[in-house]
């Protein structure tokens, strides 16, 4: 391995120069090579770097999955030869590229630092030189006395951010990027301070490789008051090409509750299209299925995007669709953290009732995935859908739900359906929604399986039970 950093210039403002030498008012054009970029800044010669330039250079507005794959391929080809990599990139779509690379670069144990600038390197008061030098030092890590950051990140102004958590928040300000839902992984002033507890762990003796299949048959839709659901439906009636939708909803994941709107979502979902709910807000997250208010979206086939940025959500969905997974597997993996892109992982287990015979007790078994044991569990939710009793008696319906592991730790919660039930007919449908808090940890702890035990004071039938477990992803 060379004691060098490879700079990959894809294009963008940072590499622009004046078309007429010596005339600062002449139009900008892309630099021909590194010498033209660096010749007015001798300090750059102090850093051990090699340089690769895209030909032609790419305006970041023209960025695409094909270019992401090309960047990943250059890193893969040169991976063993360099301490780290700096990717020069236009700022407009930098967060998309950083997110995409984070999913494609597997077992990454070297820094990949994306940076750019709001003002070209040759201009007075440019932010480019500081961004470039600091990115080189972070990528070079121990060459410059900097702690190793084995992940894809963005450096801008004075902040190092996880790439798949970053967003461009200002078109001109030198503080152009932010990481709204995850703290900075590095703070740069007189020193470069890497915050160890916030960076991803270095992979243990696994070989680096690129998983570069992306499918761009994805769209982003943003809700607004007055949106006609039929306009939404018409998009999908006229094509079978779309495989995924990022749905930007209000607040913490709220959407219209009209039957017309929900039926359109059900129609979209019925076509095998994955719908991911993320918030329109810059900061915050959605946590569908935890509260009854969001259950209607869940029933319509929508899944939670938790606190994914739009950039991370769309590139993660492209990546998973590109892998060729079926719809249910894509939904499952979208809700589980892969490389630090989200704060919460959600594991869902669904049980369909195939028996028409009512009963007053039911027992379900859940196999626990290995990954659950490594994370900070904090909540579990049991939701029974379309409950109906058959005893036709004027009596309050009481249902108890217990979760049990092999060590017989038990957390029981009594829930009453508030309205007194009298002479229920078959068409009446009820739902039960109950939450188990931190005590779920002691149950799941070392258990391979869980049992969900449901008892009621009268015989009932139900259509579906959803069991969801939520865990924090601490890095």
What pLDDT is attached to residue 452?
Answer: 85
CATH number of 218-341: 3.40.50.40
**5-210 matches 218-341 in fold:** yes
The least confident of 21-25, 233-237, 362-366, 471-475 is 21-25
Percent helix, strand, coil in the chain, to 5, is 25, 30, 45
What pLDDT is attached to residue 425?
Answer: 31
Does 370 belong to an annotated binding site? no
What pLDDT is attached to residue 29?
Answer: 84
What pLDDT is attached to residue 355?
Answer: 82
CATH number of 350-472: 2.60.120.260
What pLDDT is attached to residue 390?
Answer: 58
Sequence-distant (6+) residues with CB within 8 A of 40 are 121, 122
Does 239 belong to an annotated binding site? no
Share of the chain above pLDDT 70, in %: 90
User: Mean of the pLDDT values across residues 116-124?
Assistant: 89
**Encoding tokens for residue 36?**
């033209």
User: What is each CA distance from 354 to 212, 233, 461, in whole angstroms?
Assistant: 41, 32, 10
The CATH architecture one would assign to domain 5-210 is: 3-Layer(aba) Sandwich (3.40)
Does 422 belong to an annotated binding site? no
User: For residue 215, which phi and psi values (nearest 5 degrees)?
Assistant: -125, 115
The least confident of 13-22, 88-97, 112-121, 350-359 is 13-22
State yes or no: pLDDT of 408 exceeds 60. no
Rounded to 5°, angle at Cα 32 from 30 and 33: 115
What pLDDT is attached to residue 27?
Answer: 83
What is the Cα–Cα distance from 438 to 29, expressed in whole angstroms?
A: 58
State yes or no: pLDDT of 426 exceeds 60. no
CB 401 within 8 A of CB 381: no
What pLDDT is attached to residue 409?
Answer: 42
pLDDT digits (tens, 9 = 90+) for 228-258: 999 999 999 989 999 999 999 999 999 998 9
The least confident of 116-130, 181-195, 433-447 is 433-447
CB 14 within 8 A of CB 88: yes
Rounded to 5°, angle at Cα 380 from 376 and 383: 160
- The interaxial angle of helices 259-270 and 229-237, nearest 10 deg, is 10
**For residue 368, cis peptide bond before it (omega within 30 degrees of 0):** no
Please identify every residue annotated as catalytic. Answer: 13, 91
User: What is each CA distance from 78 to 10, 72, 113, 446, in whole angstroms?
Assistant: 16, 10, 15, 42
What are the b/e assignments for 318-334, b being 16+ CB within 10 Å? bbbbbeeeebeebbbbb
Radius of gyration of the chain (CA): 26
What is the Cα–Cα distance from 99 to 218, expressed in whole angstroms?
A: 15
Size of the chain in residues: 475
| SS3 at position 456 | strand
pLDDT digits (tens, 9 = 90+) for 11-30: 998 888 877 776 777 788 88
What is the Cα–Cα distance from 414 to 422, expressed in whole angstroms?
A: 20
Domain borders along the chain are: 5-210, 218-341, 350-472
State yes or no: pLDDT of 431 exceeds 90. no
User: Mean of the pLDDT values across residues 77-84?
Assistant: 98
pLDDT digits (tens, 9 = 90+) for 314-345: 999 999 999 999 999 999 999 999 999 999 99
What pLDDT is attached to residue 444?
Answer: 72
């Amino acid at each position: 391995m060379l004691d060098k950093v490879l700079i990959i210039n894809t294009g963008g403002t940072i590499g622009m120069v004046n078309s007429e030498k010596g005339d600062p008012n002449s139009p900008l054009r892309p630099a021909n090579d590194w010498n033209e970029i660096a010749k007015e800044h001798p300090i750059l010669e102090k850093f051990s770097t090699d340089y690769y330039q895209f030909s032609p250079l790419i305006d970041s507005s023209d960025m695409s999955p094909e270019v992401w794959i090309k960047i990943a391929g250059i890193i893969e080809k040169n991976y063993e030869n360099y301490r780290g990599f700096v990717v020069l990139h236009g700022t407009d779509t930098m967060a998309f590229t950083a997110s995409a690379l984070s999913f494609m670069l597997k077992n990454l144990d070297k820094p990949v630092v994306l940076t750019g600038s709001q003002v070209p390197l040759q201009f007075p008061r440019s932010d480019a030189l500081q961004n470039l030098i600091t990115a080189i030092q972070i990528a070079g890590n121990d060459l410059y006395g900097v702690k190793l950051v084995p992940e894809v990140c963005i450096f801008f102004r004075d902040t190092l951010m996880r790439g798949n958590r970053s967003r461009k928040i200002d078109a001109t300000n030198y503080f152009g990027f932010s990481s709204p839902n995850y703290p900075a992984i590095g703070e740069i002033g007189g020193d470069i301070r890497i915050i160890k507890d916030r960076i991803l762990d270095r992979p243990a003796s696994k070989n680096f490789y690129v998983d570069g299949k992306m499918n761009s048959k994805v769209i982003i839709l943003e809700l607004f008051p007055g949106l006609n659901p039929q306009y939404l439906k018409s998009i999908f009636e006229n094509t079978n090409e779309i495989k995924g939708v990022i749905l930007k909803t209000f607040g913490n994941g709220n959407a219209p509750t009209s039957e017309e709107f929900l039926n359109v979502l059900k129609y979209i979902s019925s076509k095998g299209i994955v719908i991911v709910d993320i918030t329109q807000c810059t900061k915050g997250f959605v946590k569908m299925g935890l509260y009854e208010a969001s259950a209607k979206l869940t029933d319509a086939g929508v899944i939670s995007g938790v606190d994914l940025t739009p950039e991370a959500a769309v590139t993660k969905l492209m990546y998973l669709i590109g892998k060729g997974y079926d719809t249910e597997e894509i939904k499952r993996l979208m809700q589980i953290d892969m490389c630090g892109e989200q704060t919460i992982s959600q594991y869902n287990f669904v049980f369909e009732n195939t028996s028409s015979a009512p009963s007053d007790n039911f027992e379900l078994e859940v196999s626990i995935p290995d990954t659950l044991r490594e994370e900070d569990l904090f909540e579990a939710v049991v939701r029974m859908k379309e409950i109906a009793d058959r005893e036709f008696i004027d009596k309050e319906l009481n249902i108890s739900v217990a979760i049990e592991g092999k060590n017989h730790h038990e957390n029981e919660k009594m829930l009453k359906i508030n309205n007194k039930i009298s002479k229920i007919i078959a068409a009446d449908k009820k739902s039960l929604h109950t939450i188990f808090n931190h005590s779920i940890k002691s149950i799941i702890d070392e258990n391979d399986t869980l049992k969900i035990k449901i008892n009621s004071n009268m015989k009932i039938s139900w259509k579906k039970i959803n069991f969801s477990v939520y865990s924090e992803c601490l890095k």
